[in-house]
Structure 1
Amino acid sequence: MQFQLDKAQATITNVNQRVERHGDERERAVDIKFALSANSSALDMFDKDLKKFLFRKPAKGEQPQLPSIGDVLTEVKFPSLEPQRLAHEWSGCELQIDGQLEGTAPIVLVDVKLKKFIAEPKEGGSVDLTFTASAGVDAEELAEISEAWIREAVVLSISPGKKATQTDPEQTDMSEAA
């Protein structure tokens, strides 16, 4: 499964400019931290059972199923559980940052790595997601990203690029243990 978003309302919470070394070459790179709220079905992109682990059906007297959502798992199963760090990473993605006003030129980044996902389940069947997108950029793209950061609120789209891959957290854990 690939992590994808289509015109999601998001917030840029941090931008970190850095230098990557490619042999003797030094190139500009950026880490952009995003935060957004999504339907709990977004958790299916990580693991098909994650939503069932974090949410449950409402008990008698609790908020009933919301007709617009159509999802019966709307109550947080473990309210005292801290937000969950997810070890999933996707590489080779394409990311588009649009402004919320018409006429804003989109920022398109390719070969983006998505990482450091944190999911916080919310009552009613939604989940707050934060994650970092890392990519190589040029000076103009960096300036545009800085302008988007000042605005904070953006419209975010993420799709698999031509070279998209996913790092399997279970294999990563096994290789680190070996």
Structure 2
Amino acid sequence: MFQLEKHDAEFSHLNLRKESHGESKVPAATITFKAASSSLILDIIDDKLRPSFYEAPSSGSQQNLPIDGNNLTALKFPYLKEQKIGMKIKGYELEIHSLLEHIEPLFFADAELVIEKVSFVEGGSVELTLKVNTTIESDDFAPLLEAWDRGAVSISLAPPSGQAFHKAGIYPIEKKDLP
């Protein structure tokens, strides 16, 4: 399963609303983050993504660094803009941490993770746009707005199965979780 552990991100958008749950309306939010990562994270989403958009660098171009074992670092289509993915997975847990860990993290359970978009960066990096749809308590309004106002945060996303974190902080998405 896709998973992040205290991964730096930009808290880019917050949409507060009310959702119908039975006959009552409850506060809910869509929380949007932008997170940069090695393009290896694409293998976790779908193992065909990275080789579709990246290739081994040719002679005379920027060569890959042996830091993470990523040998596909040159963009196949440098003119492409961000691409939509739109993968939705229910049952995630989200924690929003401050970068200096001086503020108590915000925790949201039973959230829907949407891996919405990916932007490709020369050199073997990507920027993911991640959305989290969740219900919220009224006590979370002010801390959530404060985190949004700070912008730079650290996020943890735990999959529905509650598996332990991998040392890289990510896991592949299982086919049964796809829509």
Query: Match for residue 56 of structure 1?
Result: 55
> What CA distance in whole angstroms lies between the structure 1 residues aligned with 2:110 and 2:75?
35
Query: Match for residue 146 of structure 2?
Result: 147
Query: Match for residue 11 of structure 2?
Result: 12
> What CA distance in whole angstroms lies between the structure 1 residues aligned with 2:139 and 2:43?
36
| 3-state secondary structure, aligned to 2:177 | strand
> What CA distance in whole angstroms lies between the structure 2 residues aligned with 1:100 and 1:109?
18
Query: Match for residue 70 of structure 1?
Result: 69
> What CA distance in whole angstroms lies between the structure 2 residues aligned with 1:29 and 1:55?
38
CA RMSD of aligned residues (A): 1.7
| 3-state secondary structure, aligned to 1:87 | strand
CA offset at residue 99 of structure 1?
A: 0.2
The one-letter code of the counterpart of 1:167 is L
Structure 1 ranges of 4+ moved more than 6 A: none
The one-letter code of the counterpart of 2:56 is K
Is the contact between residue 19 and residue 28 of structure 1 (CA under 8 Å) also seen in structure 2?
yes
Structure 2 runs not aligned, ≥5 long: 163-173
CA offset at residue 142 of structure 1?
A: 2.2
> What CA distance in whole angstroms lies between the structure 2 residues aligned with 1:13 and 1:102?
19
Query: Match for residue 89 of structure 1?
Result: 88
Query: Match for residue 37 of structure 1?
Result: 36
Is the contact between residue 30 and residue 142 of structure 1 (CA under 8 Å) also seen in structure 2?
no
Query: Match for residue 161 of structure 1?
Result: 160
Query: Match for residue 171 of structure 1?
Result: none
| Matched residues, number | 167
The one-letter code of the counterpart of 2:177 is Q
Identity, % of aligned positions: 34
Flag the structure with higher helix content: 1
> What CA distance in whole angstroms lies between the structure 1 residues aligned with 2:102 and 2:127?
28
Structure 1 runs not aligned, ≥5 long: 169-178
CA offset at residue 35 of structure 1?
A: 0.4
